[in-house]
Amino acid sequence: MAAPAVKTEGLRDCRDAWSLTLCDLAANDPRIVAVVNDSIGSSKLGGFQKQFPDRLVNVGIAEQCMVGVGAGLANGGKVPFVSAASCFLTGRALEQVKADIAYAGFNVKLVGQSSGVAYGELGATHHSIEDFAWLRPLTNITVIVPADAWETAEAVKWAADHEGPVYLRLSRMPVPDLAVENRVFRPGKAEILRAGGDVTLIANGTIAHIALAAADLLAAEGINARVLNMATLNPLDEAAVLAAAEETGAIVTAEEASVRGGLGGAVAELTSAHRPVPVERIGFPGFLPTGSVEWLFREYGLSAEGIAERARAAMTRASK
Amino acid sequence: MTLENDPAALIREKALWMRRTAFRMVHEAQLGHPGGDFSAIDIMATLYFGVMNYDPAQPDLASRDRFIMSKGHATGALYTALCAAGYYPEDWLKTYMQPKSLLNGHPNRNYLPGIETNTGPLGHGFPVAVGIAIAGQISGADYRTFVLTGDGEQQEGSNWEAAMTAGHRKLENLTLIIDRNRLQQGQGTEQTAGLDPLDDKYRAFGFHVEMADGHDVGALLALLSASPKGRGKPLCIIANTVKGKGVSFMENQAGWHHGVPNTEQFAQAMEELV
């Protein structure tokens, strides 16, 4: 499969952080195993395979088996990281994710690679923009969407320590490091990337840095946007969302996912019940045409300009 | 011979208690899957009272043998086996499928001790069993993993993914038992989506295959208790069974897949199950 063409200068592929961190952890914890579906290369697990050949379980192109095997490995005392393209991990094996991992409560870490529209040109079958909506109702899976390499490494470490099912949603599109001082990874808590009282931009994953750029554009117009990195989608940091609604009166969500049932859906569900404010949801409306990841981002408003425009719209709605 | 030195007689006695008790549970709840319970009960009794190593006082012991009821609707067979094995008191069985009962219509490992994984949707148990066996292989552990699937359940493709992995990895500590009663919910398996020759299919996937009478506990005991060491292949036992085995009006009737007895039928079954 052709990787999307992205300029990599100054940017980092979070998959490198994921695989290096997993190797570090596995060196000290013999319980850690990796499970893949012929996805060693795309999961960047070649190094893991070299270091721990007996602890890499490749079931072949068999996602339902792969997730079930993950559950069985957990039953046998292992800490499995099941890594595959997230369109197939969460889609093909959705019932296994529900019954074998979430409902059974096994200590399995599902790692969705090349999520969102990373495989832009390969078409909607290979896009993973529904995974948030599929997994969010499986309430006991912690869903984490790291925004950069640092957060990816922290999330992998946290997942290995945490007893219970986790879904880590990674991209393959290189992203810049978020410039935040003294960062501490706090699962379940929104990270305030920028303070502001006029409007709140909530994003995660590959979109978090774009939301920050949007806040710069708004600042130039005298609009102080609060920017939240909602790396944990489930459980949602409800307090942060309701504080944003209360204190800024307007919210924009931006995610590399469907606008139905994901971050925007979660924020809208919560605010409509407890603190109704305008919520502008930026994401993808449904099955997408083929195109590069950059083109898809621009086309659907996942750009600094696009987010800024929706922020103004949200503020206008709030003032009426 | 006494029960103590005749393992097959002990197993038969447990199986009789399981059938009577499971049918009472179904009668009282007016819910359940008695046909598939009864085809599986002799296999279950053989595993729990003749083959497997386990300790009900330490249900999570790492060295325990594992059993997975992949045909998760057969809770009458599973719950009575676990109860008879000492995992929980008989009183609990009275709550079968009642609101908030621990004895859910399909097994849940978070509710009851002795359940290895949640099942119910078909085709889930075998891949999980493969994972357990791989964990043992990686750790060098000696425990055995047994998984019981229905024969209709073999129509789920996930089983064939699991079979491929199990054969490829030569999981000799893994035993797949197929409850071959030849009936699924609606009609015969061969009228629906034929499975035969099932033995050849599993041989082709790298299994050692044995055919057995799934109600001959002596034969099952011999096959299941043989050491798998050195076999170099996972074992598949195709257990030919009778759906509803032991109750004349239920035997070989697809309608008893999830049929429930009225008072007269219950009384008749209790007369026959002696």
Q: Provide the pLDDT for residue B3.
A: 62
Q: What is the ipTM of this complex?
A: 0.95
pLDDT at residue number A129: 98
Q: What is the pLDDT of residue A132?
A: 98
pLDDT tens digits for B127-176?
A: 999 999 999 999 999 999 999 999 999 999 999 999 999 999 999 999 99
Across chain A, what does the average pLDDT equal? 96
Nearest chain B alpha carbon to A64: B158
CB within 8 Å: B131 and A68? yes
Closest residue in B to A97 (Cα–Cα) = B124
Check CB contact under 8 Å for B118 and A57. no
pLDDT single digits (tens) B49-89: 999 999 999 999 999 999 999 999 999 999 999 999 999 99
B158/A96 touch (CB, cutoff 8 Å), yes or no: yes
Q: Do B116 and A75 touch (CB under 8 A)?
A: yes
Q: Whole-angstrom Cα distance, residue A216 to residue A209?
A: 11
Kindly list the strands in the beta sheet with A32-36, ordered across the sheet, starting from the edge strand earlier in the chain: A56-58, A32-36, A79-85, A109-113, A166-169, A142-144, A232-234
Query: Is B128 within 8 Å of A100 when comparing Cβ atoms?
Result: yes
Beta strand pairing call for A56-58 and A32-36: parallel
User: Considering the entire predicted model, what is its pTM?
Assistant: 0.96
Question: In this predicted model, which residue has the larger pLDDT, B119 or B2?
Answer: B119
Please check whether residue A96 is in contact with residue B124, taking contact to mean a CB–CB distance below 8 angstroms.
Answer: yes
CB-nearest to B165 from A59, A105, A106 is A59
CA distance A91 to chain B (A): 14
As a whole number of angstroms, the distance between CA B236 and CA B245 comes to 22
Shortest Cα–Cα distance, A287 to chain B (Å): 27
- Reported as a single tens digit per residue, the pLDDT across A108-156 is 999 999 999 999 999 999 999 999 999 999 999 999 999 999 999 999 9
Residues 48-87 of B with CB under 8 A from A: 62, 66
B127 has a chain A CB within 8 A of its CB = yes
CA distance B152 to chain A (A): 18
For A76, the closest of B119, B135, B157 (CB atoms) is B135
By CB atoms closer than 10 A (0-12, 13-18, 19+), residue A213 is middle
- From B66, B225, B178, B206, select the one nearest B132 (Cα to Cα): B66
Q: What is the pLDDT of residue A169?
A: 98
Compute the distance between CA of residue A23 and CA of residue A16 in angstroms, rounded to an integer: 11
Distance from CA of B148 to the nearest CA of A (A): 15
Interface of A with B in 40-59 (CB under 8 A): 54-55, 57, 59
- pLDDT > 70? residue B1: no
Is residue A73 within 8 angstroms of chain B, CB to CB? yes
DSSP helix/strand/coil, B118: coil
Beta strands in A117-207 (DSSP E): 142-144, 166-169, 191-194, 199-203
One pLDDT digit (tens) per residue for chain A, 320 residues: 444 444 556 899 999 999 999 999 999 999 999 999 999 999 999 999 999 999 999 999 999 999 999 999 999 999 999 999 999 999 999 999 999 999 999 999 999 999 999 999 999 999 999 999 999 999 999 999 999 999 999 999 999 999 999 999 999 999 999 988 889 999 999 999 999 999 999 999 999 999 999 999 999 999 999 999 999 999 999 999 999 999 999 999 999 999 999 999 999 999 999 999 999 999 999 999 999 999 999 999 999 999 999 999 999 999 98
Query: Beta partners for B179?
Result: B150, B239
Chain B residues closer than 8 Å to A96 by CB: 124, 127, 158
Q: What does the block give as tokens for A185? A: 């990874």
What average pLDDT is seen over chain B? 96
Contact A167, A141 (CB under 8 A): yes
What's the gap in Å between the CA of B133 and the closest CA on chain A?
8
Contacts of B116 in chain A (CB under 8 A): 75
DSSP E strands in chain A: the ranges are 32-36, 56-58, 79-85, 109-113, 142-144, 166-169, 191-194, 199-203, 225-229, 232-234, 251-258, 279-284
In the three-class reduction of DSSP (H, G, I as helix; E, B as strand; rest coil), residue B123 is classed as: coil
